[in-house]
Structure 1
Amino acid sequence: MTTQPATAADSTALVLNRLRRAQGQLAGVITMIESGRECRDVVTQLAAVSHALHRAGFKIVAAQLRQCVLDEQDSACGDRLSEEELEKLFLTLA
């Protein structure tokens, strides 16, 4: 079974899905705090929110990298990020 390369629309949909999931998790954390849940439970869920946000950020950077590679072949990219800019974005998430 071969997989097709992800399109920009596919990547955007995946990022939005991750962000919506994180939004729901964050709402859950707020509810947990309001209801006086155990610190351990709250922190565990907060870590899940943080992880979901990082994954969304990495997906955005990865999609940009893929686009840059494709644009290298097409050379019609107006807003291509430099290697240094991409590295800085990755480090921002690290």
Structure 2
Amino acid sequence: MEMNKKNMLNRLKRAEGQLRGIQKMVEEDQECIDIVTQLSAVRSSINSMMGIAIAQKVKACIEEPSDDPSLQEARLEEAIKLIIKK
């Protein structure tokens, strides 16, 4: 489940490449359904990465709790906001 910086960058570069491919598809007037299919794949990839990043944040809050209860609560609230935002 843990994702390191290198893996995150690789996923982002892959998504960037997919987006460039979609731009080319639009320029070449390819079928709308094909473009939407590729856009959906990019969105799914980004959503997956967001979920992994949020899970890491929550895991860190649990595994490395703050000694200060108000700080721990703030950290958990931040993680919850990320989940809601997603």
* Superposition TM-score, scaled by structure 1 size: 0.73
Q: 1:20: Cα distance to partner?
A: 1.2
Q: CA RMSD in A?
A: 2.4
Superposed CA offset, 1:59-85 (max 9, x none)? 21111122222212x85xxx8652222
> Which blocks of at least 5 consecutive residues in structure 2 are unaligned?
none
Q: Percent identical across equivalent pairs?
A: 33
Q: Return the alpha-carbon distance in structure 2 between the equivalents of residues 12 and 65 of structure 1.
A: 17
SS in 1 for 2:4: helix
One-letter amino acid matched to 1:59: I
Q: Number of residue pairs matched? A: 83
Answering whether residue 47 of structure 2 is matched by residue 47 of structure 1, we say no
Q: Return the alpha-carbon distance in structure 2 between the equivalents of residues 55 and 12 of structure 1.
A: 15
Superposed CA offset, 1:21-76 (max 9, x none)? 1111111110100011000000000111111111111121111122222212x85x
Please show how residues 1-94 of structure 1 align to structure 2 within 5 Å.
6=2, 10-72=3-65, 75=67, 82-93=75-86
> Which blocks of at least 5 consecutive residues in structure 1 are unaligned?
none
* Superposition TM-score, scaled by structure 2 size: 0.78
Q: Is the Cα–Cα contact under 8 Å of residues 8 and 49 in structure 2 kept in the other structure?
A: yes
Q: Return the alpha-carbon distance in structure 2 between the equivalents of residues 62 and 16 of structure 1.
A: 17
